[in-house]
Amino acid sequence: MKRIFAILLLSTISLFVYSQESMVSIAGGYSWAKVDDADATATGWRINGTYEFNKGQGFSQGVSIGYISLKASQSFGALDSTNVDYKLSSLPLYYAPKYFFGGDKAMGFVKGAIGGHHSKVESTYENGSTGEVQYWGFYGGVGAGFMYAVNEKVFINAEYEFAWMSNSGYSGGFMQTAMAGIGIKF
């Protein structure tokens, strides 16, 4: 009886280990957010790198690091206008769990994001004066997307992410991103 139990236990562990896979992907895309204390929408780009460990059964756990760069301009006053240019940049680092659903080649997913960020807001006024503020804070978000397997090792993906960053230069802390990328499984 002990021998049968040991064989079943080792078989189960072997199948579990065999079904695990790691994935690395890089994605980039378009980001947008309202600038805090201004009536301007900042737009720009984002690049993200993600390492994921798939535990099977449709779930994966991962870690992501990215860089976000947004710009906006605003004019104040009708007669005596003062122009301000804003440059916002953020470096988010977060835990990124995902749940996959669908077939072998094409899969959809929903994801979460929880971690932290470092953000910077630079303001340049028409008269040449500048200002800079840096923040550290919480990063949290949700997203959805799809992944398509080109072959056994290479895949492409696309996703949308809605994030909230405390202590950031974004109005209400909200930022949105649409990204596409490529990755490998190993």
> Quick check: 14 pLDDT over 80?
no
Topology, domain 20-185 = Porin (2.40.160)
Q: How confident is the model over 19-37, as a mean pLDDT? A: 89
pLDDT of residue 5: 45
Q: Map tokens 């079904």 to a residue.
A: 19
> Quick check: 142 pLDDT over 60?
yes
Q: How confident is the model over 44-61, as a mean pLDDT? A: 89
Phi first, then psi: give them for residue 148, nearest 5 degrees: -125, 125
> Which percentage of the chain shows pLDDT scores above 70?
84
Q: Are 68 and 43 in contact (CB under 8 A)?
A: no
> Quick check: 56 pLDDT over 70?
no
pLDDT of residue 45: 98
First to last CA, the chain: 37
Q: Can you name the residues that pair with 170 across neighbouring β-strands?
A: 35
pLDDT of residue 80: 55
49 burial level (CB within 10 Å; 0-12, 13-18, 19+):
middle
Q: Are 111 and 140 in contact (CB under 8 A)?
A: no
pLDDT of residue 16: 43
Q: Count of residues for the chain?
A: 186
Token representation of residue 168: 């950031």
